[in-house]
Structure 1
Amino acid sequence: MKSKKSFFKSGLIKQDIRQHGWIGIIYFLFLLFAVPLELMQMASRDYIIFSDYKNYLYINTELQVLILFSIPVATGLLLFRYLQNEASVDMIHSLPIRRITLYISHIISGLLLLLIPIFLTSIVTFFVTRSIPEFQSILSLTEILSWTGLIILLTIMMYLFTVAVGMLTGMSSAQAILTYIFLFLPIGMATMVSYNLSFLLFGFSPIAIEENLVYLSPFLRFIDTWTTTNPFSSLELVIYMIITVCLFFVGMGLYKARKLESATDVIAFHFLKPVFKYGVTFCSMIVGGTYFSATSTLNWNWIIFGYISGAIIGYVAAEMILQKTWRIFHYRIFTGFICYSILFAFILISIKTDIIQFENKLPRMDQISEVYYGKKYEMQELLSKDEDIFSDSKLYIQDVRNLHEAIIDQQQHIESLTYNEKYQEKVVISYRLNSGKSFTREYSLPVDLMKDKLKSVMEAESYKKNLPQYTLLREDILSIKFIPNGPVTKQVLITDPEEIKQLRNVIENQLLKQTLDDLTDQTSPWGYIEFSYQKADKNQQSFEGISVDWKKSYHEISKWLEEHGYLDDARVNSDDLVNAEVTKITSKKNRNEEVYSLVEIFKSGEQYFTITDKDVLTKALERFTEYPEEQTYLIKFRLKDGNEWYGSFSDEQVPDEIRNLFK
């Protein structure tokens, strides 16, 4: 006997295909343009490294992203658009068809419109790939099956996500906007909240959040697979499958519970309206605080103003959207805002007064197994390469902990410093505890204030071996180039394997001998040392070049270059100069605080002297800096090729011969 119940209606599906079949055609054409046609274009180019495209995700990635996160969304909007119109929603639901049947029928229609183009594109792409010899060995059948499966999964997920969001609202425009807002909301909220906590809590580090941000949005994760060659893991794919299935049932449940009269309402469910209102208020408040914290360099009066103004704007905007009118200004409306303000003020005060003692927490020595001290971005770079950056040296752990304890003791003084005061190091202290947990803090440290404690940490071998200059030496170096700092064209390229081996050892020893003063020296370098090495997973013709500063304190490197006859071509020396002209800025009125060009500052001097003595010129080259901030003595080098090179000296660095000229 035929069942009286049916989970879908073929008539509805046929009607959807007739009405919206153009979506499938457009999707198919876009996919053809993005992948197989791009493969054919690349094959016709004269210069192309085929091995760079060993995954179909690398083919026209930007267009794939645009298509993948627009067409499925448009499909969800159009197929369920009848829910957002009062006349059509009443007419459709007057038919003798259950809501579940309507829902499943439209879902099937959308899947047919989206999946058939993917399968057809996959077949076409397979034959196109087989017709291009250079791609045959790179883009295998496994690769195209993987690409097809991933595109299908993400397409279905985006489609069902749009449908589920559509059940929450009664307006198609709101559905589209909310779909993309929800897609990026986790990333935006995590970023904004972590940024605000970084200046509300002394030592708070957003590293753990930043490392996982990309996983909070399939949009960014898809891009990440291309930019970092970090493919989707099996766990991610399983999670996406579970989310997709959940979205199907969530959409179905919301469809059944949705009231027909909610069409044209911004929020279809009454219980979600407060969530929307206060959610918008909170997001707007966080944006306001973030904006004024960045533009006013952490001035607390402006930050509080940003929080208040942002919250008011968000609250008023949310009320206008919900009520669909601007006439909302009566005292009862703001009762909720007052309650919200009181609650947030309590939370803000609790965070700022550190009632949970976050800022003063410090693990005991017997709890720590390993430690890392260094800069945040260097830490993230090394971890991305699976480098072991932590040290288990008990002496080093004790030194870092002593420094950390001193930082906590000097909290008020450190927080009172502005970014313009003295030289500061942005550092991370991360402990691995015996329990397996991590304990991480991030600080901006004034080097002069913490010099005693910093010396033992930064001069330790455990610290220096994590410096980017040192980690470069672990690569298989093919050549070392010395590029002078200054307006000259000369340089030195060393390619002899034996010389590279010798120089590598000299550089390694020099880096390990650096003192705290060497590490924090702001004097301009002699030039830059560029290391070239073969890139991982690439062919023989593809190389990577990364340069590091050749500091003036690296005397052993200079000595090696001199012994091998390279020194004169590796840096600017007195033989390259005709003379130098010096001046002194005697008062602040001579310095325009808004001008950061050494050329302009040099012109504001009152007395000028010309130097031709080669010994004095050599000293000037050794001690000058190209940074103009708060320097007293300015110098202009005239080179034999006609170029001019400007620099400056602090009172401590200026050679006595130049100082004596102004007495």
Structure 2
Amino acid sequence: MRQKTSLFNKGIFVQDLRSVGWIGIVYFLLLVAVGPLQILLNVEHYHKTIMQSKISNEVSLPEFLGSAEAYTILTCILPVALAILLFRYLHTKLAGDYIHSLPIKRNALFHQRMLTGIGILVLPLFLNALIMLGVGQGYHLGEAYSMKSVGLWLITVLLFNLLVFTGSIFVAMFTGMSLLQGVFTYIMFVFPVGILMLSLQYADLFLFGFSSFLVRDSYTSTLFPGLRMAHSSAAPLSIIEWSVYIVLIITFYVVALFLYKRRKTETATQAIVVKPLRPVFKYGVTACFMLTGGIYFGDFQKMGWIIFGFIVGSLIGYSIATMILEKTWRILYKWKGYIGFAIVASISLLLLNMDIFGYENNVPQDSEVKRVYVSSEIPEIDRILATDEELEEQVKRGEISPGEVEMYYRKNFFTDRTNIHNVTTFQKEIVKDKNELELIPEKENNMVVFVYELKNGDKEVRKYNLPPHKYDNLYKPIVESDEYKKNLYNALRINENQIDRIVLSSGIGFDDKQEVLTDQSQMKDLLRAVKQDIKDQKYKEIQKGTNTFVDIELIQGKNEPLIDSVPSTFNQTMKWLKDHQIYKEIVPMASDFDYVVVQKWDPTVSEGEVASTDKITDKDKINQLIKLASNAGYEYRMEFHSKSGHSIYETGVHYEDLPNDIKKQLN
């Protein structure tokens, strides 16, 4: 009879419902407010959106189920509050003594309270799912509100609720203060992301060729459950992610039970109840504050300031951690531990700066490289290295479009062995000049990124800031190669027999300046002229960036159009356009504009513009500026003010190409 009584205590259950049951009611009302209520208020918009969109037959988490951000906020707050209130007695000595004096075993008490908490979380979610299903079916909102879609939403949100709830109870077993339980819960979930970000920032400072931008986005959302939940509507959890989160929930539950059965009631009000973890807490907080201080002062890009940030941050962190553990501000006699920490930290940072693993000097051997990506822009590593199957899945989920796949994620790779050799030679020269290049700040268009995909499946990524023209002799054979030009221009990759039409238009606005070609013979002749001009292009012309003189839009059936910007230096193309009386129909003329203004811009200045010319109205000079229009950077730019409606068309321009009188006005 005692055994049966100890498995479930009705009195404790009723008391728990009285003390924490209101959280379930509040949770239910908030879920209704951010889900079904929003649907009802916007049902016509939702209905129109769903009916007009092509929803995949595959089960997904559509945005129509409400705000992912709102659900994420609720998941990050209410389960933590519920866990704190359910186990509040652990942090109050009198309450702990009373509860544990009752005729119920500790493990049974733990299970009962855990199940009560889980029930309070599950019931509002289940009721909310039923309401969403009813609203969706009643208003015929389609597949977005099918049983499968709503069911997937339910178990996904429940999974994250259980993760946060069990995680908070796990944390409760290590502390004797309810306030710290909440704080430590958020620290536990944020810590992997925070420590990763800090580590990447320091790798930026100390490792030549490393860039945190190239790796951090790939891991941030997966390491931080809150971000992962917010993105789950666009990218449902994979089997691996489900497995990891379920294992974490079970681990939190089992370890919390193990510690609960051995926890002493007199540890209530202590910051850390597990003694071996006290130094871990103290020095962990100190290390985090030290790294944060170094990053804060590291913005000055001077080692002296970084070291100053280390010292200030570590002192603040050590003081805070010690005061929490000792529960007093009188800690002046507790500095021996800080000296030991400072010695260990100094040795660790010295080893990092020495690059003992050879990261900086590592350049792959030509024979090891499967392909290499070279660009002056920071790419999305996961996507450019994705397989065709992975890209197709991302297209299906609506994360990227087919046009983006062709434009961004299948370009700029080199597989030709000569190009691979030229790329590795280029990087080796950069590594030799480390001491000089480390001091160069990052600016627009002065970086180069290397992404190697090796034959063994590994990848290596490097980013460098380079001075202009220093490595032209090494970069020239890469840029002038057929492979590079094929990456740069769509015309070299397209099958001319599959083109339905070509749309020619002005590169500087003017939607009305347009010509459409449908004759197969004309299209083939034009493409041949464009391809020949591309093949004849030299290094300096390519490096200046694509001139925006004429845009050529290549259309193949229902596929997204492929667009190339053609510069005025493409002589054969310009000749073809003139021979076919198309040139004047699409090329902008000085007569189209009232005036032009040339400006120098600086993004660090609040208004942007730092110098500007007077209005240029001379027609010959305007014609000259039209031919200089480029999409390569906007440090210097031109504003073309048209006569028709006084529209403004903005383009970039290279400073060195500008006439001398305009340069004088910008200096």
Q: Same fold (TM over 0.5)?
A: yes
| Distance apart, 1:99 and its partner CA | 1.9
| Contiguous gaps of at least 5 residues in structure 1 | 537-543, 586-590
Residue 591 of structure 2 is matched in structure 1 by: 575
Contact 2:515–2:586 (8 Å) recurs in 1: no
How many Å apart are 1:33 and its aligned residue? Answer: 2.5
* Aligned match of 1:158: 164
- The answer for the alignment partner of 1:443 in structure 2 is 464
Separation in 2, partners of 1:22, 1:534 = 59
What is aligned with 2:190? 184
Q: RMSD between aligned alpha carbons? A: 4.4
Would the alpha carbon gap of residues 405 and 627 (structure 1) be closer, same or farther in structure 2, given more than 3 Å must change? closer
Q: Does 1:303 align with 2:311?
A: no
Residues 170 and 267 of structure 1 are in contact (CA less than 8 Å); yes or no, is this contact kept in structure 2? yes
**8 Å CA contact retained: 1:624, 1:653:** no
Deviations 1:223-262 (A, max 9, x none): 2223xx2211112112211111111011112222323222
Structure 1 distance, partners of 2:571, 2:448, is 27
Give me the whole-angstrom Cα distance separating, in 2, the residues matched to 1:5 and 1:510.
89
Matched with 2:235 is 230
1:92 aligns with 2:99: yes
Indicate conservation of the 8 Å contact 1:276/1:318, yes or no.
yes
Q: Which residue of 2 aligns with 1:541?
A: none
Letter of the 1:250 partner, please give it: V
The separation in 2 between residues aligned to 1:48 and 1:426, in whole angstroms, is 46
% identity of equivalent residues: 27
Give CA deviations for 1:76-121 in whole Å, capped at 9, x if unaligned.
1111112122221222122232221221111011011111222222
1 CA distance for matches of 2:662 and 2:245?
A: 69
Provide the C-alpha distance between the structure 1 equivalents of 2:37 and 2:502, rounded to a whole number of angstroms.
39
Say yes or no: does 1:23 pair with 2:33. Answer: no
Q: For 1:457-501, what per-residue CA distance to the aligned partner results, in whole angstroms no more than 9, with x for missing partners?
A: 23334444555978998999999685754xx76554667766997
**Which structure 2 residues correspond to residues 100-115 of structure 1 after superposition, within 5 A?**
100-115=107-122
1:12 aligns with 2:22: no
CA shift, 1:192, in A, is 1.8
Separation in 2 of the partners of 1:179 and 1:447? 49
Structure 2 residue identity aligned to 1:601:
A
Structure 1, 162-171 or 360-369: larger mean CA deviation? 360-369
Name the SS of the counterpart of 1:430 in structure 2.
strand
TM alignment of 1:555-570, pairs within 5 A: none
CA-to-partner distance for each residue in 1:512-542, whole Å, 9 max, x for gaps?
7654333432698458888999999xxxxxx
What corresponds to 1:377 in structure 2?
Answer: 379
Q: Note the 1:70-469 alignment, pairs <5 A.
A: 70-133=77-140, 135-206=141-212, 207-226=214-233, 229-293=234-298, 295-296=299-300, 298-330=301-333, 333-374=334-375, 375-377=377-379, 379-383=381-385, 386=391, 387=409, 390-419=413-442, 424-466=445-487
Aligned pairs for 1:496-535 (under 5 A) are 515-521=538-544, 525-526=548-549
Q: Which amino acid aligns with 2:49?
A: I
- The TM-score with structure 2 as length reference comes to 0.80
8 Å CA contact 2:544–2:632 kept in 1: the answer is no
Query: SS where residue 429 of structure 1 aligns?
Result: strand
- The match for 1:622 among 619, 623, 627 is 627
- Alpha-carbon separation, structure 2, partners of 1:57 and 1:648: 40
For residues 452 and 103 of structure 1, do their structure 2 counterparts lie closer, same or farther at Cα, with a shift above 3 Å needed? Answer: same
Give the unaligned 5+ runs of structure 2: 392-408
Shift of 1:511: 6.2
Instruction: Say if 1:141 and 1:400 are closer, same or farther in 2 by CA, change over 3 A.
Output: same
SS of 1:446 mapped into structure 2: coil
Aligned pairs (5 A) from 1:584-603: 601-602=611-612
| 1:281 to 1:557, Cα distance in 2 relative to 1, 3 A | farther
Query: CA offset at residue 579 of structure 1?
Result: 6.4
Return closer, same or farther for 1:26/1:654 CA change in 2, 3 Å cut-off.
closer
Count of aligned positions: 631
Cα distance 1:656–1:78, how it changes in 2: closer, same or farther (>3 A)?
closer
Q: In terms of mean alpha carbon deviation, does 646-655 or 269-278 score higher? A: 646-655
Structure 2 residue matching 1:428: 3-state secondary structure:
strand
The structure-2 alpha-carbon separation of the partners of 1:136 and 1:378, relative to structure 1 and needing over 3 Å to count, comes to closer
- Give the letter aligned to residue 156 of structure 2: L
CA contact (8 A) 1:425 1:444 kept: yes
Partner of 1:653: 657
Write the distance in 2 (CA, Å) between the matches of 1:478 and 1:309. Answer: 66
